[in-house]
Amino acid sequence: MRLAFHIAYIGTDFYGSQMQPGLRTVEGTVISACRDLGLFDDWRKAGFAFSGRTDRGVHARRQVCAFTTSCPDRAIARLNHILPWDCGCSGWAETDDSFHPRYDAETRSYRYYIYDDGSADPLRMQEAASRLTGTHNFSHFSRLDGKNPERTILSSHIHAEDGFYIYEITAPGFLWNMVRCIVSSIIAMGRNELDTDDMTALLNAAPGMRHVTPAPPEGLILWDIDCGITFTPLEGTGRMRDASTERTRFFETIKKVNWIMD
């Protein structure tokens, strides 16, 4: 049976999501747990896959993972019990044998938490965020590595909450570091370091514009991925620490790295 899981993780102590030899990664951690449970021997033969990569320090609320196993009941009942405190499953679904979480993902949403230190105008930040909807050339917002620089943004907005500005963006797909570069440009606009003409030039990939520096990874959360399937909630996401404690730790981390565009 092929299963999909919503995976949540605190990225602070992982070297990103993608497997890397000798390093603690989210994929490596989940694969190790699956092997310990006897869910599969070879992750390749099991078709193990995540919906996408997150960089070192980036967190996830609903990453999507899928694999094929002959022990689905054991996977659903036991996987959370052996995953570490900073990684766990929040939901599961039975899928078609052909399901691939990367290629079947319809939309991806990210949130970035920006500490409100009083230096940025929220109205200017929202103006910058609003300009991002639609199809644009994001050459100045990513290292392309030969990929098509055009991406279509379905929604882009910012709101205030608990002493932070929370930026949320949704699109079918993103380029490497694209969201973090977008956040930097929004903050720069809020601090009057960019104007509307600069933002337009960046989105038109105008020559002569400086490549945008990405915001720190610690404030970024892979918020949700829509793969067109319904997940059944799972209780007890791993042995994740008390939610209020981790919320405080997360917010304090954001405050410490709030040096964007200084």
The CATH number covering residue 13 comes to 3.30.70.580
The CATH number that applies at residue 186 is 3.30.70.660
Average pLDDT value over all residues in the chain: 90
Same domain? 60 vs 144: no
For residue 176, how far is the Cα from the chain centroid? Answer: 11
Same domain? 69 vs 97: yes
- pLDDT tens figures, 183-236: 999 999 999 999 999 999 999 988 878 889 999 998 999 999 999 999 999 875
Same domain? 22 vs 59: yes
User: Is residue 66 in a domain?
Assistant: yes
Q: Token pair of 227, please?
A: 């793969």
Q: Which residues contact 20 (CB under 8 A, 6 or more apart)?
A: 28
Q: What is the dihedral of CA 15, 18, 21, 25, to 10 degrees?
A: 40
User: Is residue 258 in a domain?
Assistant: no
Which pLDDT does position 254 carry in this prediction? 54
pLDDT grade for 240, boundaries at 50, 70 and 90 = low
Residue 70: other Cβ atoms inside 10 A: 11
Residue 102 to residues 71, 111, 150, 198, 227: CA-CA distances in angstroms?
A: 23, 19, 19, 33, 9
- Among the listed residues 108, 184, 90, 187, the one whose alpha carbon sits nearest the alpha carbon of residue 152: 108
User: Is residue 125 in a domain?
Assistant: yes
User: Is residue 78 in a domain?
Assistant: yes
Same domain? 113 vs 96: no
Same domain? 69 vs 156: no
Which pLDDT does position 59 carry in this prediction? 93
Same domain? 92 vs 117: no
Measured CA to CA, the distance from residue 206 to residue 193 in angstroms comes to: 18
For residue 233, give its domain range: 2-104+227-242
Same domain? 129 vs 145: yes
User: Is residue 250 in a domain?
Assistant: no
Same domain? 87 vs 145: no
Q: Token pair of 105, please?
A: 């993902």
User: Is residue 257 in a domain?
Assistant: no
Which pLDDT does position 258 carry in this prediction? 45
- pLDDT tens figures, 107-158: 999 999 998 889 999 999 999 999 999 999 999 999 888 889 999 999 999 9
Q: Which residues contact 112 (CB under 8 A, 6 or more apart)?
A: 166, 167, 179, 180, 183, 215, 219, 220, 221
Same domain? 111 vs 92: no
Measured CA to CA, the distance from residue 88 to residue 26 in angstroms comes to: 10
Catalytic residues: 55
Same domain? 111 vs 100: no
Residue 225 to residues 93, 107, 109, 142, 173: CA-CA distances in angstroms?
A: 14, 6, 6, 21, 10
Cβ–Cβ under 8 Å, residues 23 and 17: no
User: Is residue 73 in a domain?
Assistant: yes
Phi/psi for 230 (5° steps) reads: -100, 130
Same domain? 137 vs 207: yes
Phi/psi for 228 (5° steps) reads: 75, 20
Domain count, the chain: 2
Same domain? 157 vs 231: no
Which pLDDT does position 37 carry in this prediction? 97
User: Is residue 139 in a domain?
Assistant: yes
Model confidence, pTM:
0.90
